[in-house]
Amino acid sequence: MAKIKLLIDTDIFIDALKEVKPARELFKSKDILLYCSILTRKELLSKRGLRDSERQKIMDMLIKIRVFRIDETINRKYFKLIRKYGEKQEMLIDYIIAATAWAKDLPLLTRNRKHFEHIEEIKLSPVYDIE
């Protein structure tokens, strides 16, 4: 059986760190391959006030997934998104994440759907409910 592949946004990591059950189960699943953007990694590790134990938890999670660097294909798609949807400062990181999903042909799992649902070039994965 083919594994499900998902690009995950920063909020999914945060949910898992907060012990949100559906997010934790994603990281434990043998049937799901998780990926993220290098910018998600940067957002997680550059948070102010991060304790060493929190940093270690994040690193332990990142070891289990593939982190995509920004390559030429992602860069081209990023600029196409900016041209199509406009250069909004608050959306630039989200456009890199969307460009990564588009370039790698992966559905994006995020609870921050309002930042991504208008982007026709990507598919959003159904999101879990927080209990």
Output Rg (C-alpha) for the chain, integer angstroms.
Answer: 15
Task: State the average pLDDT over residues 4-31.
Answer: 95
Structure tokens at 40: 């998600």
For the entire predicted model, the pTM comes to 0.91
Between strands 4-8 and 108-109, the pairing is parallel
pLDDT of 41: 95
Structure tokens at 7: 């690009």
Buried b (16+ CB within 10 A) or exposed e, 62-82: beebeebeeeeebeebbeebe
pLDDT category of residue 33 using cuts at 50, 70 and 90: very high
Domains of the chain: 4-115 (3.40.50.1010)
The rounded percent of the chain whose pLDDT value lies above 70 is 98
pLDDT category of residue 88 using cuts at 50, 70 and 90: confident
Assign 2 to helix, strand or coil: coil
> pLDDT of 67-85, one tens digit each?
999 999 999 999 999 999 9
Provide the residue type at 44 as one letter: L
